[in-house]
A and B are shown apart, each in its own frame.
Chain A
Amino acid sequence: MAKRYDLVVVGAGPAGCMAAKIAGENGLSVALLEMKTDIPVVKRACSQMLLPLNEDYLGERMSFNGKNGHFCFLRNGLSFKYDGPYRNIYAFEIYSLGGQSLKFGEASVRKKLGDQGRISIATDKGILIKGLLKQAKAHGVEVFPGTTVHDVKKEGDAVKVMSSKKTFEGTFVIAADGANSRIVQCLGLNKNRTYYSTMSVIESSMKGLHLPAEDTVYYICAEVNGAPTLCALIPRAYAGEYNVVFITLDPKVELTKFANFIMKESKLSPWFKDVQLKISLSAVANMYTTILDPFKDNCLLVGDTIWCQESENTGALLSGGKAAIAVKIALLDGKLNREGVATYLDWWKQAFVDRYPRDLIMKNYILGAVMTNEDMDYLFSLLNEVMPASILPYTLPGHLGEAVGKVVPIIQKQRPDILGKLGRMAQEPVEQILAPHSDPSMANR
């Protein structure tokens, strides 16, 4: 007879490791499953940042104390220790392919404020995960790497999790298996979600870049035959190093070709003159509308499994922790069902569903679908004021919208066609804008 765990957590990323740690600390018996063999080795492209540190996210204010490595979600009181290296990031800048830029904060100014001026921190995500895993194991969590989950089924009062190793049984399951969640697919929960498109990413770590400023995240916002395609250059926790990611929302775009164009031929190629492209990581993530009700058959869904596009490491950590707390309460109350985990479902509703408009995060990615590279050069050239420092995709569109609003009379006179395109961004459903770049057969339904 299979061992019955209080909780089976599927996926040992930030959400799953936090869930396992919090559950273990609170005395639950936990099995943590992960398809990779070496859990702390990062295999999936990621910015590795913890953000935001200068504004609210999910109704939370986040804090990091560099002296003791204490990261805390202050309003919920959930915390964890990160004992790896980190670097403060102070500003964010978006470039068009032609070299025009939008500034959200200015690093040289904000750096004078020290920790108060930072918008995020760069971490070593492998060390972060290793720390959470160590804390989880110290509280009795059993970890099963090299275990791929292929099905999940509720049978009686247990949830059975079928995997490449064996079948696990839990009173509850927390699905933390990411943007292409197998569990979400098995539970049939992708059927009612609008599918936007699939995001493809390749990543190369680079040293020796010549960027306009330090301690700043750079985006290069472009389109390749109308497909929104970007390059992000994110400082790593190690001085002088950057995680450089190339992203497209149209899987037909050849990312290596785009990367080589940016690095060797574009107006921004001087940034890259002393570096090589060496792809070490990649990622592919389906983008759907958010899952509004993150519970079915005693499975709680956390992190990228429920978010639109991505939760950020912080959203993953917070939702994983909240779900584990809810499971503990359910077990204490003897309510082994939806009612028992109401604290998680209520939190999700107020923290995310009722807080952020449905398409908001996607607005950060679709400029290239409505504008040409030349249009973006023109628009960015009009926006010279430094906008409020932010790196949060849920507040950036608002800052940009405000700045654009100030120059509308100029655009009306010089390029009324651009106003039409901005109108599309504001009013047209994102799935319609992305339809030419989207393949519905990839929707994993």
Chain B
Amino acid sequence: MIKIEKAQCTGCGGCVNLCPDAAMSLTSKDIVVIDEKLCSECQICVKTCPVRVLSMC
């Protein structure tokens, strides 16, 4: 499961389009959210995030 440090997310959306499963989107507050049903835990988002708010747990 991918964990998100919501308070640190800047809402840049970079991970949303780089997710191979299209499992990510932005909330109404422009914070990233993951649909776990679609997420294959490839961790591309973890590698990509410039502010390191995503991690595997």
Contact = CB atoms under 8 A, between A and B. Distances in A.
B56 interface: no
B22 interface: yes
Contact of B12 (A43, A198, A439): A43
B42 to A, nearest CB: 8
B18 A37 contact: no
B22 A182 contact: yes
B22 A255 contact: no
Contact of A284 (B11, B14, B27, B42): B14
A193 to B, nearest CB: 15
A283 B12 contact: yes
Contacts, number: 89
Contact of A200 (B17, B26, B30, B50): B50
A123 to B, nearest CB: 19
B25 A41 contact: no
A284 B26 contact: no
A230 B19 CA distance: 26
Contacts of A251: 47-48, 50
A198 B10 contact: no
A202 B16 CA distance: 17
B18 A180 contact: yes
A180 B50 CA distance: 14
A209 B24 CA distance: 37
A38 interface: yes
Consensus secondary structure, chain B interface: loop
B26 A44 contact: no
A281 B17 contact: no
Contacts of B18: 180, 284, 286, 442, 444
A44 B32 CA distance: 13
A285 B14 contact: yes
Contacts of A255: 50
A62 B32 CA distance: 37
Interface stretch (A74-82, A84-92, A143-151, A413-421): A143-151
Interface in A19-70: 35-38, 41, 43-45
A182 B17 contact: yes
Interface string B1-35: 00000000011111111101010111111100000
A309 interface: no
Interface string A138-172: 00000000101011000000000000100000000
Contacts of B49: 282, 284
Contacts of B14: 44, 180, 282-285
Interface in A280-337: 280-286
A202 B17 contact: no
A441 B46 CA distance: 12
Contacts of B24: 148
A178 interface: yes
Given A200-B50, A251-B47, 5 more contacts: A36-B30, A37-B26, A43-B12, A43-B30, A45-B12
6 contacts: A150-B22, A185-B17, A284-B49, A284-B50, A286-B18, A441-B42
